[in-house]
Structure 1
Amino acid sequence: MTSDAASVAPLGIAFVVLHTSPVDEPGTKDAGGMNVVVRAQAEVLARAGHRVELVTRRQRPDEPAVVELAPNLRLHSLTAGPARTIEKGEHEALIDEFRDALAALLRDVPVDVIHGEHWFSGIAALPVARELGVPLVQSFHSIAADASLPLSAGERAESPGRLEGEARLARESDALVVISDAERETAIERLGAAPERIFVVPPGVDQTVFYPADAVVAAPGAGRDRPRLIVGGRLHPLKSIDLAIDAVAKLPEASRPDLVVVGAPPPDSLDYERSLHDAVARHGLDERVRFTGPLSRAGFAGEMRESDLLLMPSHSETFGLVVLEAAACGLPAIAYRSGGLAESVRHNETGLLVDTREPADWAAAIARVLGDAGLYERLATTALAHARAMSWDASAGQLLEVYRELVNGAARG
């Protein structure tokens, strides 16, 4: 095959996601924005004619080994450890078993590039990529913070090998794909990654699912008794949904908005979920706060269309995909100024960034947006325009450019 033909030929691509399935609904188990990004990019690449293999760990005894999700798109569930959902940190002990199963699969189903998602997957995939002579692309989706750093700097290492595992992948992967400039800087500063091997690929948003309720931005609370706030994601301490509840409690009772909490706890956060319900009861907010549990993407979008404002109080996010999805529904956001949230929310343009974690400061920001119709309309309109410029086609296209560069380089080499 000539180099010109190689540059346009369909690729075989393996997305490897050990600890969570790309088809799991975000807000359930350990599923979140990573699951959305992987599946959306994979679907676009498959529609473009590339052969895409999604590879994960079997979580149910009756889970089939392979499922065809769409033309050119298959999901492989490998046996590694118990066939049930386990706590995230327990997956480190399964890396070697998963690696062996992955190697056996990819010997039978050859691919041109392997993309590891999260460090568990990358450490399993690295020796397989070297054995097969194909490039390894690595995405972290979050980068662990050493215990000496404040939580806002990143997630804690949920298992012993994470800090060294991420550093090794930063050194040895053929390329790192990150979702924001903030994640790029973290990879350089915390992991010593070479800047020339890092590629920023922004996410997109599915605007057939996430779209506004009306063509014209309405005032907050229009058509309802009171405005409504929404917060969504795994019910996990990193997401700091407790801060959203405490902030609502600080608002005057007469003008207090409703709060909708969308999501479910992963296996290691059941105590945190109970603490959220306890906080609601302690503040006397039973009539103001509603927990929906996990929802489908369409269900989540529907809840957003019934809301006025997104809260994003996470200690740290590499981007904050929910912000973009809310914007596509016409919602401005209030977020903590940390990591990628400072990019997904444009301060005073598509929402507000709060510099502290004091509930009173969050309550003041909420009151400011909901109490000023002109400000609300400006933020909502700009957020919607920003989201409409972000597509999964563009995101997958940029990712494909990274793959092409590595595959063609390997062919030349």
Structure 2
Amino acid sequence: MRVVHLLRKYNPAEWGGTETAIQRLFEGLRQHRVTSVTYAPSIGSSIAADPLTEAGFAVKRFRACVPVWGISTERKRQLIAVGGNLMSFDLIARLLREPNVALMHTHTLGRLGGIALTSARLRRIPSVVTIHGGFLDLPESMTNNFRNAHRGGLEWGKLFGALLRSRRLLKDADAVVTCNRKEAALLKEKQTCKRIVVQPHGVPTSLYRKDHRESAREAFPSIRDQRLLLAVGRIDPVKNQRWLVEQASGIFRRHPDAMLGLAGACTDEAYGESLKRKIDELGLRQRVFLTGGLPPGDPRLIGLFQSAEVIVLPSVSETFGLVILEAWAAGTTVISSRTSGALDLIQHGENGLLFDLGAPETLHQAVDCALLHPELKSRLAATGGRVASAEYDVTVLAGRMKYLYDQLIAEKNALRNSAG
């Protein structure tokens, strides 16, 4: 079976949770004899290392643009990095010419998703849409930001969106896949979808069992003999690292041997600069460090997971929380804000700890609880590890996706035969 996967963005230099989830899906599907072909917009810079191509997956690039007049180049770059509704004039022809495609799987909404659905309809093959970053399950502030993304400019792409029926994407797709139950419930309530499937992301637990702590210590020597608090995620307002840094001084006063690591590529340059300024303003340069982007499965990143006392996730929104599974696989306790993704995975006091962003004292209480009670911390991590191994194996979850593909292809063939 040969499946085309359409991505809104694929830049290895800005690797994040979505890219990790997609790579692991491809690896799992390969175990079920599914060939995955990726289509993604061209990027201007040269690519030093591409984890997908290095893993043996085809990546094909097409021309795309932000269809808005009157906004700055920097604003366009930011829209490409996160959330922009892109347009392409050569993609549909490329998808129609791609040989031996059994199914079209788009990992993006908007106009590009509409192009994927149009090409699937013309080829008379099934289409699947996966929602990665949330659609209905978003905080009001994020929804408003997306709505106002083109303020000050003229969005000439709306006409093409209407022609591609991009607003009907979720209704017309043969299946819509989401990674959390809340998003699925909202879709059932507010959208008329043919089929909604809850499919969590997976984690290769065996990858996190090998001890890589020395690789982390060699790369980041400041963590030696320190109690590391680690936040993993792209440097972006949604991941909320600046808020965590603001809380760090109080944590360090109570735990003088603690330090904070922020691991992830920067996808919002302005936010990244403001984060660095806040670290300097608070005099925390010796206590807080940024790793930059680290490739998936990198021994340094796994070693940081394993070296950390706790993983802290202060996200404003998280539809799943792949980092939680990675922490559990590495044997590390998780402390997370109450996002829908975290609430789907964490049972407070059983396999992790939760806190409220609106009540910072709950973060401090959770950190104190973990650092001052090692037996509890170990129990939380062990319980989480069992959950990751039993319920989130990559190959098993990919098998479920392959079964969905088989069902949709059989249904499409039956419909075609009955019509013929």
Give TM-score, length-normalised by structure 1. 0.82
Give deviations 1:3-37, integer Å, cap 9, x for gaps.
xxxxxxxx22111113225xx2xxx43x4222112
Q: 1:38 aligned to 2:38?
A: no
Aligned to 2:236: 236
In 2, distance between residues paired with 1:146 and 1:116?
19
Residue in structure 2 matching 1:104, options 91, 94, 112: 94
Residue 289 (structure 1) aligns with: 288
Deviation at 1:197, TM superposition (A): 0.7
8 A Cα contact 2:91 2:115, kept in partner: no
Cα distance change of structure 1 residues 399 and 378 upon mapping to structure 2, 3 Å threshold: same
1:203-282 to structure 2, matched below 5 A, reads 203-211=201-209, 213=211, 225-251=225-251, 253=253, 255-256=255-256, 257-266=258-267, 269-282=268-281
In structure 2, the residue matched to 1:95 is: 87
Please name the residue that 1:80 is paired with: 64
Report the CA distance between 1:328 and its aligned residue. Answer: 0.5
Q: Give per-residue Cα distances to partners, 1:14-68, cap 9 Å, x unaligned.
A: 11113225xx2xxx43x422211212111222243222211112214767xx996
Secondary structure, counterpart of 2:340 in structure 1: coil
Between the aligned partners of 2:253 and 2:166, the Cα distance in structure 1 is 47
Shift of 1:382: 0.8
Give 2:8's aligned amino acid.
L
Q: Per-residue displacement from partner, 1:153-206 (whole Å, max 9, x unpaired)?
A: 8974556789998752221111101112122123334x5243x61011121112
How far apart are the structure 1 equivalents of 2:120 and 2:136? 27
Could you tell me which residue of structure 1 aligns to residue 169 of structure 2?
169
Which residue in the other structure is 2:361 paired with?
Answer: 360
* In the alignment, structure 1 residue 134 sits paired with structure 2 residue 133: no
| Cα deviations by residue, 1:353-387 (Å, 9 ceiling, x for unpaired) | 11333333211211111111221111111111112
Matched, 1:56 2:37: no
Q: Secondary structure at the match of 2:197?
A: strand
Specify the code of the residue in structure 2 equivalent to 1:301. Answer: I
| Residue aligning to 1:124 | 115
Q: Secondary structure at the match of 1:204?
A: coil
Percentage of pairs with the same residue: 25
> Aligned to 1:326, what secondary structure does the other structure show?
helix
The residue identity in structure 2 corresponding to 1:203 is H
SS in 2 for 1:118: coil
Mapped to 1, the partners of 2:107 and 2:294 lie a distance apart of 23
Alpha-carbon distance between aligned partners in 1 of 2:101 and 2:342, rounded to the nearest angstrom: 34
In the alignment, the residues of structure 2 paired with residue 317 and residue 357 of structure 1 have an alpha-carbon distance, to the nearest angstrom, of: 16
Q: Paired residue for 2:70?
A: none
Alignment pair present for 1:345 and 2:346: yes
| Closer, same or farther: CA 47–340 of 1 in aligned 2, 3 Å | same
The CA distance in 1 between the partners of 2:145 and 2:412, in whole Å, is: 34
Q: Which residue of 2 aligns with 1:115?
A: 105
Instruction: Give the superposition deviation at 1:229.
Output: 0.5
Deviation at 1:334? 0.8
CA contact (8 A) 1:57 1:77 kept: yes
Say if 2:95 and 2:119, in contact at 8 Å, map to a contact too: no
TM-score (normalizing by structure 2): 0.81
Contact kept in structure 1, 2:16 and 2:264, CA below 8 Å: no
Letter in 2 for 1:34: T
Tell me: CA distance 1:341–1:378, structure 2 relative to 1, closer, same or farther (3 Å).
same
Q: CA deviation at 1:108?
A: 3.7
Task: For 1:374 and 1:401, locate their aligned partners in 2 and report how far apart those are by CA, in whole Å.
Answer: 42
In the other structure, the counterpart of 1:7 is none
1:309/1:156 CA distance change after superposition, 3 Å:
farther
SS of residue in 2 equivalent to 1:238: coil
- Which amino acid in 1 is paired with 2:25? Q
Q: Contact conserved, 1:250 with 1:359, CA < 8 A, in 2?
A: no
Separation of aligned partners in 1, 2:345 and 2:210: 18
Query: In 2, distance between residues paired with 1:114 and 1:208?
Result: 31
SS of structure 2 residue aligned to 1:123: helix
Name whichever of 367-376 and 88-97 sits farther off.
Answer: 88-97
Alpha carbons of structure 1 residues 320 and 369: separation in structure 2 relative to 1, 3 Å: same
> What CA distance in whole angstroms lies between the structure 2 residues aligned with 1:327 and 1:74?
31
How far apart, CA to CA, are the structure 2 residues paired with 1:135 and 1:102?
16
Counterpart Cα distance in 1 of 2:113 and 2:54: 24
The 2-side partners of 1:62 and 1:280 are apart by 31
- Give the distance between the partners of 1:92 and 1:372, measured in 2 at CA: 44
Deviations 1:224-262 (A, max 9, x none): 544210001111100001122122222252514210001
Aligned equivalents of 1:334, 1:81: Cα separation in 2 = 39
Shift in CA distance, 34/155, structure 1 to aligned 2, threshold 3 Å: farther
